[in-house]
Structure 1
Amino acid sequence: MSDSAQSMSLVAFIAVVSFTLLLCVMTGPDRDDLDEFYTGFGGLSPLRNGLAIAGDYISAATVLGTGGVIALLGYDGVVLALSTALSLTLLMFLLAEPLRNAGRFTMGDVLARRMPGRPARVAACLATLAALLPLMLVQLAGAGDLLSFILGFSGDGLRTGCIITLGALMISYAAIGGMKGTALIQILKIVMLLGSGLVISALILRRYDFDPGALLSAAQHGSGAGPAFLRSGLQFADSPWPRLDMISSELTVVLGGAALPHVTMRMYTARSAREIRRSMSWAVTAVSLFVLVITVVGFGTTAMLGRAAVAGHDPQGNTAYLLGARAVFGADASTAETLLLTTVTTALFLTLLASVAGMILACANSLAHDVFAHGRALTPRREMTLARVSALAIGAPAILLAVLVKDHNLQPLATLSFCLGASALTPALVYSLFWRRFTQTGLVCTLLGGTLGSAVLMTGTNLVSGAPGAAFPHHDFTWFPFTTTGLASIPLGFLLGWLGTRLSSRSEADEQRKRYEAVEARILAG
């Protein structure tokens, strides 16, 4: 970036940090009320709550990672982006309303609605931490890399300093702002991201006379892959079973993305079933619109710069969105164009901050409410203090781990989070909300078995070893023939839940059936 763009971006970053911290302080809980900290009293309108849900759902992995896959792999990247939108749509039609009816503050509350007791809550907390911690590391390391890339930092110490500083900010957002403060940051993020993205997309389309066919033809030419760029299979061309590998990846995204706890926690903030339906409608609309934006920007980047140039900046294509936004203006950008580019970089910066803040809040809420506070006569002030301390207890190790792994390919960690969501959290939620005989034994088997199964299988994929872009490229201990674990771990999670329930005693199954019948109307109809 030019010196003027870098200076303007730095000023914008400082302004955004100051404004968002002030926003958290002003909107954070001003009294000792758990409903205010955990749900913001349900005070957001359906539009604002829907934008907050979309903000939590669209992480930096979506913006940078999916945009990069589109720029490098064409059609397969578009399918991935559409799977992202489909995942939230599936949550809207299947789980959103029952989650809102059954939950109060955390996913542990949803599961404990019919399975009261400590084991269910502890298992839910462990699954929450396991699913979100890998994604937090990716976002934290990505925040440091993005800030270094934009501002021209090259030293390893400066990158580490960026990660630590930004991580401290994210912890502050979660601890000070609570649910309402982080929601307003998510709204600001999604508005900036969509607004700047729509302008960049329009500018890219204008280059090709608003003809999508001309854009696709130029992208195909710039890809160097010929017609294969606009056909299925380029991403998994080296896989022994490319079709099955693609199905596994898309199934993992569809079933795992929307089940992650930092997304589902937004379901508890609606005051009625009607409001959560309206909120999800706004969220799906916003996410679908953004999928269109990253598709245009991804293809436009390849068309303007070429696939080789995108891969030269980052083999994973994580800088493709920013490269496309810069390329559309050319070398001699005017002041207005520099200002728009600064808005794009600020929106990406805010995306990283807001995404991790939401994840830290979800983990801290679960740790404080489901583990420390459950079964103890704690005052609201004491539990809120525990939640804030938990934010620090989770955020600090995440920052340390992000510094340690920042020089590795972190795609396996992001993939692992989605695999855990699809293999452990989705089966647990579906069984708990809709199966009468589902027992506590089945729940623990699903959560722990799905989590362990995904983690073990992930070690054998080509994302970890055996490939030039793997986390350990100089080693080869690949034994699982797919890129993601979903094709094996998702059936495993459902099977373990069914098997654990079937192996439970008849008395336990009958007791769970009676408990479910007692709350069935509440869960399904509010």
Structure 2
Amino acid sequence: MNVEELNDPVLNISIFVLFVGVTLFVVIRASRNNKTASDYYAAGRSFTGPQNGAAIAGDYLSAASFLGIVGAIAVNGYDGFLYSIGFLVAWIIALLLVAELMRNTGKFTMADVLSFRLRQRPVRLAAAITTLAVTFFYLLAQMAGAGGLVALLLGINDRIGTGIVVTVVGALMILYVLVGGMKGTTWVQIIKAVLLIAGAAVMTVWVLALHGFDLSALLDKAVQSAGTEEILAPGKQYGANPLNFVSLGLALILGTAGLPHVLMRFYTVPTAKEARRSVVWAIWLIGIFYLFTLVLGYGAVALVGSETILGSAGGVNSAAPLLALQLGGPILLGIISAVAFATILAVVAGLTITAAASFAHDIYANVVKRGEADPQMEVKVGRRTVVVIGAVAILGGIAVQGQNVAFLVALAFAIAASANLPTIVYSLFWRRFTTRGAVFSMYGGLGSALILIVFSPVFSGAETSVFRGVDFSWFPLDNPGIVSIPLGFLLGFVGSLIPQRTAEDPALAAEMDVRSLTGHGAEKATSH
């Protein structure tokens, strides 16, 4: 298949510009009611469970889900589908452990929950730092997806052109968040979720129709195209080192319940019941989509071919767009690419507002101003933070071009599971948990995850490393989860056993128990 001959850059960009125009109109309309911090950070808690469920799906089904997983299945077969399984199973833990309890005890950010019965300043500062770290790695993945996608659309295959593309995406992201806040971002995520699932459904039915709606026939064609049956069996990617798979699985399954931008979505609904409903809706929508990725991944192998995918501009992340080009020509490619771009813009907007809220609400308002900040000034600080985060994300996104986006997101999940999840679980379920335990857990989990990532094959020592031609790696696994997640839990436990000068207030622990489990007092949701 000659991609250059079939591709139509003018049509692709026209469809993309049309989508950006429509979503910007929606964002501007939604921003009219952004008057308070609650409006800007939590959309005035005005969304219903089904609406928020669609927005969660829109937030969660990122470039990793559409571009990365389809590419991973197309190149690595069964092992690539493990990403879909891990991402979906993770929602069971999020539903059972955190959704309703977080909504009952928080206000805007994850730190509201963690600092409810612990000392404000050290816990909020640590939570804000871990939030910014997770957000940064997640943003890197989205920027890598954006660069790869537009490289394919425009036939750009050099770092300068891709860098310009990443800069444009970053600028749009900043504009969306500055103008629309959480309300505008939420509506973009809902629109994007509907378009992404609908687009994936159309392509899935199309691929199955070409093979007589016989999944076995599709898999046979994929094996024939790949020239090996390895793509149907486990082990093609992780067979050489099964610990790599275990580490990845731990990160994917436990990471979701610690992702700050997902947790923040629970505060956009009016009640804990709606928070629970929104997660149930999200699980259905996300589950249906991940079933589509199996057909799309093997469809890309059968109809496009792994070598064509790897050799194209955009590399492994171009499997889904190339499949669209093969099925419906330039028009379908333009539509699917616009949807993929919508995916990236919606997710980066959600990530950015989460990071901005964490800095403005946790560090500025509650650490620097000790809870006495003017709400309007807090929102201004949040907006300035958006610009800084956007600039950092652009620079990082340029550096990671060519990396598989699903793989990059898995690193963000590992950091979330190592630094955030232990503290969340202990705060909600263990009365003897202390401020020292929270600080040990967050900084220890974050530090260990980052150190192991830097000294792993992700950064050096392999052909796919960020820094090629050098080798300073000593940690053999691509994902640090198998070490850093248990370490985060252990440090939280040990830190809580060490005596501290100021004991925690048992009355606050009891109040948190009651509020988290019953919802009593949740509407005030003020921290102490």
TM-score grouping bracket, smaller chain normalisation: over 0.9
| 1:323 partner letter | L
Q: Residues 222-265 of structure 1: CA distance to partner in whole angstroms, max 9, x if unpaired?
A: 22332x321211111333xx2x2211111111111342111111
Match of 2:320 in 1: 321
Stretch of structure 1 that moved more, 47-56 or 312-321: 312-321
Match of 1:360 in 2: 352
C-alpha contact 2:41 2:353 (8 A) present in aligned 1 = no
Distance in 2, matches of 1:360 and 1:420, equals: 17
Match of 1:523 in 2: 516
Taking only the aligned residue pairs, the percentage that are identical comes to: 37
Stretch of structure 1 that moved more, 276-285 or 313-322: 313-322
Stretch of structure 1 that moved more, 96-105 or 339-348: 339-348
| Residue from 429, 434, 445 that aligns with 1:434 | 429
Distance in 1, matches of 2:357 and 2:508, equals: 26
Distance in 2, matches of 1:376 and 1:90, equals: 32
Q: Residues 286-343 of structure 1: CA distance to partner in whole angstroms, max 9, x if unpaired?
A: 11111011111001111122222222237962111111222224xxx4xxxx433322
Report matched runs for 1:148-163 at 5 Å. 148-163=151-166
Match of 2:523 in 1: none
Match of 1:274 in 2: 273
Q: Residues 433-459 of structure 1: CA distance to partner in whole angstroms, max 9, x if unpaired?
A: 111111010001111000000011112
How far residue 467 of structure 1 moved from its aligned partner, in angstroms, is 2.2
Match of 2:525 in 1: none
| 1:245 partner letter | N
Distance in 2, matches of 1:409 and 1:231, equals: 21
**Are 1:145 and 2:159 matched, yes or no?**
no
**Are 1:392 and 2:392 matched, yes or no?**
no
How far residue 475 of structure 1 moved from its aligned partner, in angstroms, is 2.5
| 2:18 partner letter | A
**Are 1:486 and 2:481 matched, yes or no?**
yes
C-alpha contact 1:368 1:387 (8 A) present in aligned 2 = yes
Match of 1:286 in 2: 285
Residue 492 and residue 31 in structure 1: after superposition, are their counterparts in 2 closer, same or farther (change >3 A)? closer
Query: For structure 1, which runs of at least 5 residues remain unmatched after alignment?
Result: none
Report matched runs for 1:316-465 at 5 Å. 317-329=316-328, 333=329, 338-374=330-366, 375-406=370-401, 413-465=408-460
Stretch of structure 1 that moved more, 379-388 or 446-455: 379-388
CA RMSD of aligned residues (A): 2.0
| 1:322 partner letter | P
**Are 1:499 and 2:501 matched, yes or no?**
no
C-alpha contact 2:12 2:334 (8 A) present in aligned 1 = yes
C-alpha contact 1:99 1:267 (8 A) present in aligned 2 = yes
Q: Residues 473-498 of structure 1: CA distance to partner in whole angstroms, max 9, x if unpaired?
A: 42233322222111111110000000
Distance in 1, matches of 2:271 and 2:179, equals: 26
> How many corresponding residue pairs?
513
How far residue 143 of structure 1 moved from its aligned partner, in angstroms, is 1.3
Distance in 1, matches of 2:144 and 2:517, equals: 40
Distance in 2, matches of 1:260 and 1:154, equals: 33
Distance in 1, matches of 2:299 and 2:223, equals: 10
Residue 356 and residue 472 in structure 1: after superposition, are their counterparts in 2 closer, same or farther (change >3 A)? same
**Are 1:208 and 2:211 matched, yes or no?**
yes
| 2:350 partner letter | G
Query: For structure 2, which runs of at least 5 residues remain unmatched after alignment?
Result: 520-528
Distance in 1, matches of 2:396 and 2:297, equals: 30
How far residue 136 of structure 1 moved from its aligned partner, in angstroms, is 0.9
Stretch of structure 1 that moved more, 167-176 or 135-144: 135-144
| 2:154 partner letter | L
Q: Residues 77-128 of structure 1: CA distance to partner in whole angstroms, max 9, x if unpaired?
A: 2222111111122201221000111111011111121114211111110000
Distance in 2, matches of 1:8 and 1:410, equals: 25
Match of 2:522 in 1: none
C-alpha contact 1:57 1:258 (8 A) present in aligned 2 = no
Residue 484 and residue 408 in structure 1: after superposition, are their counterparts in 2 closer, same or farther (change >3 A)? closer
Match of 2:260 in 1: 261
Match of 1:113 in 2: 116
TM-score, length basis structure 2: 0.92
| 2:259 partner letter | L
Partner SS, residue 316 of structure 2 = coil
